[in-house]
């Protein structure tokens, strides 16, 4: 019996220990959490979303294409000697700007001068012989008329006179040839431009047969120059149409890091064929370079202005969103609520979108914060100041915006 009593007491102690060590949870946790969630949802529905907006504008935007090209000279001359001789005078240095006709080198011309003197003496001698032959002919004509000499004597006198006259003509031709050779002893600039590396100096012997790559020196024309670039075959019709309608199609040239055009020229050449390997067409424009801002061989950006989009409605490109049903924007309406507004997108010019339908100038569209919006959301907008429209665009009121619009 004692054992039974002790067992009952032990079980009672174990039960009491379990109750105190593991008490039952009080209340319904699910029921208490649900009101809190419901309260947060209500609070969230009343919160306005902060967004940045921009106003749609009416503008005239340029139609322009941008291409990478390079500057090439209109003319480059490798200067070579046209006669053998020793350089006795040098009037040019590397990098010098020269004009057409400037004397660059003089060669030793003593031999040429002596040859000319010899030619002149030979002409005097042969002219004297020709005069004697002519006088003999006149005497022979008189004797034949009087019947003193036979006709054969007259024929011989005529032949001798003609031969003497022809000899004088040959001498004169030799003199002119040697005079031309003498001019080769003075080497002048055939074109205006900048001198490259000078490959000779006083004391050196130059040869007419020299075929070296650099010759005596190279002259590169610096003004005007030409910009050469390629455009896609798909743009060929646009260039041809624009060139046909505007004889002075402008091309702006920008070097690396330029914000404004370094020079502006006119389109002058469209290649007669399309490169089948790349599907591109070579375009060239003549550029005035009086200030020397462009350098032959320099890589540049060529912007060709083909026309303009006149009086179109524009918004920043970042305002336009895409969906399966087409492009749309969030337009801010009455009560600071946004509407998902479908639009028809015309073209893009830089960071500016042209809207054909769906908006009118003055409408506010969201450009930052679209991901937090739904149709009908309440917003707190911050209107962004009007920025340049991504191009040398002229607004409807006639004011000009900076930067170039590129499609």
Query: Each residue of 297-326: pLDDT tens digit?
Result: 999 999 998 888 899 999 999 999 999 999
* pLDDT (tens digit per residue) in 221-253: 999 999 999 999 988 988 888 888 767 889 999
Identify the CATH assignment for 49-61+310-395 out of 3.30.590.10, 2.40.420.20, 3.40.30.10, 3.40.50.1820: 2.40.420.20
Q: What is the mean pLDDT of the chain?
A: 84
The CATH number corresponding to 80-106+189-217 among 3.90.550.10, 3.40.50.2300, 2.40.50.100, 2.30.30.40 equals 2.40.50.100
| Mean pLDDT calculated for residue range 210-224 | 93
Q: Do the beta carbons of residue 225 and residue 284 sit within 8 Å?
A: no
Pairwise CA distance, residues 344 & 88, whole Å: 77
- Going by C-beta distance under 8 Å and a sequence separation of 6 or more, which residues neighbour residue 72? 225, 226, 227, 228, 296, 297
User: Does residue 17 surpass a pLDDT of 80?
Assistant: no
The confidence score (pLDDT) of residue 2 equals: 57
Q: Which two tokens stand for residue 119?
A: 């030619």
Whether 362 shows a pLDDT value over 70: the answer reads: yes
**The predicted structure's pLDDT at residue 16:** 64
Q: Which CATH superfamily is domain 65-74+220-308 in?
A: Efflux pump adaptor protein, beta barrel domain (2.40.30.170)
The answer to whether residue 22 scores a pLDDT higher than 80 is no
Measured distance CA(390)–CA(206) in Å, rounded: 58
> What is the value of pTM for the model shown?
0.65
Report long-range pairs for 130-136 (Cβ below 8 Å, ≥24 apart): 130/161, 130/164, 130/165, 130/167, 130/168, 132/164, 133/157, 133/160, 133/161, 133/163, 133/164, 133/165, 134/161, 134/164, 134/165, 136/160, 136/161
């Amino acid at each position: 019996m004692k054992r039974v009593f002790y067992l009952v007491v032990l079980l009672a102690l174990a039960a009491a220990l379990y109750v105190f060590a593991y008490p039952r949870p009080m209340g319904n946790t699910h029921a208490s959490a649900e009101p809190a969630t419901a309260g947060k949802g209500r609070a969230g529905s009343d919160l306005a979303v902060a967004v940045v907006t921009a106003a749609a504008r009416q503008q005239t935007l340029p139609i322009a294409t941008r291409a990478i090209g390079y500057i090439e000279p209109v003319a480059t001359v490798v200067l070579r000697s046209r006669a053998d001789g020793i350089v006795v005078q040098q009037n040019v240095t590397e990098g010098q700007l020269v004009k057409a006709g400037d004397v660059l080198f003089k060669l030793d011309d003593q031999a040429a001068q002596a040859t000319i003197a010899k030619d002149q003496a030979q002409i005097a001698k042969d002219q004297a012989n020709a005069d004697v032959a002519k006088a003999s002919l006149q005497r022979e004509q008189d004797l034949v008329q009087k019947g003193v000499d036979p006709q054969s004597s007259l024929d011989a006198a005529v032949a001798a006179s003609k031969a003497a006259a022809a000899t004088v003509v040959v001498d004169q031709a030799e003199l002119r040839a040697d005079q031309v050779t003498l001019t080769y002893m003075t080497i002048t600039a055939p074109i205006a431009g900048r001198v490259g590396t000078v490959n000779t100096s006083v004391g050196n012997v130059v040869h007419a047969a020299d075929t070296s790559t650099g010759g005596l020196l190279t002259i590169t024309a610096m003004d005007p120059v030409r910009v050469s670039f390629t455009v896609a075959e798909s743009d060929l019709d646009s260039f041809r149409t624009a060139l046909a309608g505007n004889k002075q199609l402008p091309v702006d040239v920008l070097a690396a890091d330029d914000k404004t055009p370094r020079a502006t020229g006119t389109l002058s050449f469209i290649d007669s064929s399309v490169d089948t390997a790349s599907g591109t067409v070579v375009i060239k424009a003549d550029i005035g370079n009086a200030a020397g801002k462009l350098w032959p061989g320099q890589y540049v950006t060529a912007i060709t202005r083909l026309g303009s989009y006149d009086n179109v409605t524009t918004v920043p490109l970042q305002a336009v969103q895409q969906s399966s049903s087409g492009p749309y924007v969030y337009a801010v309406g009455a009560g600071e609520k946004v509407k998902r507004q479908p639009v028809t997108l015309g073209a893009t010019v830089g960071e500016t979108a042209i809207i054909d339908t769906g908006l009118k100038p003055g409408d506010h569209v969201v450009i930052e914060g679209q991901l937090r919006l739904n149709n009908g959301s309440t917003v707190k907008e911050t209107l962004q100041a009007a920025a340049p429209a991504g191009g040398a665009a002229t607004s409807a009121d006639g004011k000009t915006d900076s930067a170039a619009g590129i499609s």
